[in-house]
Amino acid sequence: MSASSDHPVRLQGLVKIYTQGARQIRALHQVDLTVRSGEFVAIMGASGSGKSTLLHAIAGLTDVNEGKVIVAGQDLASFSDAALTRFRRKQVGMVFQAFNLIPSLTAEENIQLPAMELPDVKTRAEAILQRLGLLDRRHHRPDALSGGEQQRVAIGRALMMEPAIVLADEPTGSLDSRTGQELCQVLRDLVTREGRTTVMVTHEPRVAMWADRVVVFKDGRCLSEFPVTPNAGAEAVALAYEHALQSAA
């Protein structure tokens, strides 16, 4: 197995600085992170700790000031804008807190979006709709779907191109706790059954407990990390997270 398929995500010495007028904000500070193939990683941290920025850097949505982002064996810095879009479409599936579906398209069309040019788009979408239990909702527009259904559609869209990695930024943030748990189950199943590498940002231990590993972020730095055992509950994760924060302090 090559290094790239072994480690779909490798971040080395990542620095991201936002400039706002004369003010500079260090959102990421020398971040190193590697995600193994088929691994489910949760990134936890306080608000403003740089979690989303990290995810955007992995997706190539934002330039970094220093360091390397290697996704599926490709250094993102080597891509032109159009090539990066094509790469992202193929290799990176994204799920956002706000669902970010296209309101004028049906659930099925939203799922098909990244793959509309492919000849087998219909069969792919069909399989995904079935897998996510959305077959009876396929012709509904987003405004006719519940929050949980919308987020499942978003997951479906992320899976459409069978990407090397799925990135999810607080996917349960807009859902009630029960629906949130159902969605976590969906993500977990994707990792367990299909070996889909997943990086998920959250600040909820109840969500992070579904992951294989939790990476703790603080002030743009990767503070520490801890594994999550299959039967660990939310409390155990919360304790481990608090411990990580305190030991750093």
Partner 1 sequence: MRTILRLSWAHVREHPLRLSLTSMATAAAAAMVIWVVSGYDALLKTFDEYANLALGRYELSVAPISHFSQVAPGVIPAPAQKDVPEAAVALLRSDPAVRVADPMWALQIAVAHAEPSAVAGRRGELPGTVVGTGADAAPFDLVEGRWIEMSDGLKEEGVLSLAAAEAAGVRVGDELVLGSGKLQQRLRVVGLVSSPDVSGWSASVAKSQTMTPAVGGLFVSTKLLEQASGQSSRISFIGVGLKEGADLTPFRFQWSPRLSALATPCQFQEAHDIEEALDESASAENLEFQGHMAAAVSMLAAFFIILSTLNMGVTERIRQLAILRAVALTRAQTALLVVVEALLLGAVGYIVGCTSGWLLMKAAVATAPGLLEDGAVVGSFSLVLAAVCAFGGALLASAWPALRAMRVRPLDAMGKLAEPAPRGIRPVWLGAGLLLISVYPLMARVLPHGDEEPFVVYLLVGLSCLAVGVVLCSPAFVHLVDRSLSPLLAGILRIPPRLLVSQISSNLSRTLATAVALSVGLGLLIGIHVWGAHHAGRISPRELGTGCNDRLPPWRLGARSSRAGQCLEGHHPGPARGGGAAPAQGRSHPQRAARHRGAPGQRGHRRGGCGTRLWRERAAVQVPVGSRKC
Ligand X SMILES: Nc1ncnc2c1ncn2[C@@H]1O[C@H](COP(=O)(O)OP(=O)(O)OP(=O)(O)O)[C@@H](O)[C@H]1O
Q: Which residues bind partner 1 (CB under 8 A)?
A: 52, 56, 59, 61-62, 81-82, 85-86, 88-89, 94, 96, 100-105, 109, 113-114, 116-117, 157-158, 169
Nearer Cβ to ligand X, position 145 or 199? 199
Residue 35 touches which member of Mg ion, ligand X, partner 1, none, C-beta under 5-8 Å by kind: none
Strand order in the sheet with 66-71: 23-35, 9-20, 66-71, 74-75
Instruction: Select the span of 47-55, 123-131, 188-196, 240-248 touching ligand X (CB under 6 A).
Output: 47-55
Q: Which two three-digit tokens encode residue 75?
A: 């250094």
Query: Strand locations in the chain, DSSP E?
Result: 9-20, 23-35, 40-45, 66-71, 74-75, 92-95, 165-169, 197-201, 213-218, 221-227
Residue 177 touches which member of Mg ion, ligand X, partner 1, none, C-beta under 5-8 Å by kind: none
52 touches ligand X by CB under 6 A: yes
Residue 81 touches which member of partner 1, Mg ion, ligand X, none, C-beta under 5-8 Å by kind: partner 1
Site for Mg ion in 62-121 (CB under 5 A): none
Instruction: Select the span of 20-28, 84-92, 115-123, 159-167 touching ligand X (CB under 6 A).
Output: 20-28
Residue 18 touches which member of partner 1, Mg ion, ligand X, none, C-beta under 5-8 Å by kind: ligand X
Residue 88 touches which member of ligand X, partner 1, Mg ion, none, C-beta under 5-8 Å by kind: partner 1
User: Is beta strand 9-20 parallel, antiparallel or unpaired with respect to 221-227?
Assistant: unpaired
Q: Which residue has the tokens 């360091």?
A: 67
Burial 118-147 (b: 16+ CB within 10 A, else e): eeebeebbeebbebbebeebbebebeebee
Q: Measured from the CB of residue 52, what is the shortest distance to ligand X in angstroms?
A: 3
Nearer Cβ to ligand X, position 48 or 147? 48
Q: Measured from the CB of residue 61, what is the shortest distance to partner 1 in angstroms?
A: 5
d(CA 159, CA 176): 23
52 touches Mg ion by CB under 5 A: yes
Q: Which residue has the tokens 């306080």?
A: 46
Amino acid at 91: Q
Q: Which two three-digit tokens encode residue 43?
A: 């990134």
Give the N- to C-terminal CA distance of the chain in Å, as an integer: 39
Residues in contact with ligand X by CB under 6 A are: 18, 20, 25, 27, 45, 47-53, 203
